[in-house]
Amino acid sequence: MDLTALKARAVAIEKEAFLTLSTPKRIDAFAYYFATSEALPYTTHRIQGLPVDHADDNQDEQFPNPRLIIRVVVGHLTDKYRGENDSIIDTYIALLLPYFGAWRWFQSAAYPAALDGLIYSEVVDAGGFMVFDNRGFAGVAQVGFELTIACTFTESIIQAYEE
């Protein structure tokens, strides 16, 4: 399971998705969480939770289930009071949900092969309008939404036996 590759592939998918808008957008997308950009929108990524399931009666395989959180920042809380940010968020959610649904193995033009070990992924939450209190980091409260993608990997386990 390569979580760094998972985030890098999500970045590639997002960049492709935003180029399909009627007015294509080149976005800053960071394969890590603590990032900020002057350009809007931009995305950051983190892993939240990593439960591991184990195969029944099988000591040689386990199934890590990381949740990839994609934060999409579209503006500042002090801007666009008349619903513009709400409309932008609705547009971007409608863009990204089917895009990640179509690329469940995190393939893209940049990464044409499926991600090794990934056997399933799906968007399980799209968050809706959120305020991100980043005053200590970005200097301002930001608005956007977060996508949560539940992933399942398979891993072989080599048992270590002591004699």
The answer to whether the CB of 85 falls within 8 A of the CB of 143 is yes
Amino acid at the residue 92: Y
Task: Report the predicted TM-score, pTM, of the whole model to 2 decimal places.
Answer: 0.88
How far, in Å, CA of 63 to CA of 81, rounded?
45
Query: pLDDT tens across 130-146, in order?
Result: 888 766 555 678 899 99
Domain boundaries, the chain: 3-156
Q: Does domain 3-156 fall into CATH 3.30.300.30?
A: no
Share of the chain above pLDDT 70, in %: 92
The answer to whether the CB of 66 falls within 8 A of the CB of 3 is yes
Backbone angles phi, psi at 51, to 5 degrees: -65, 150
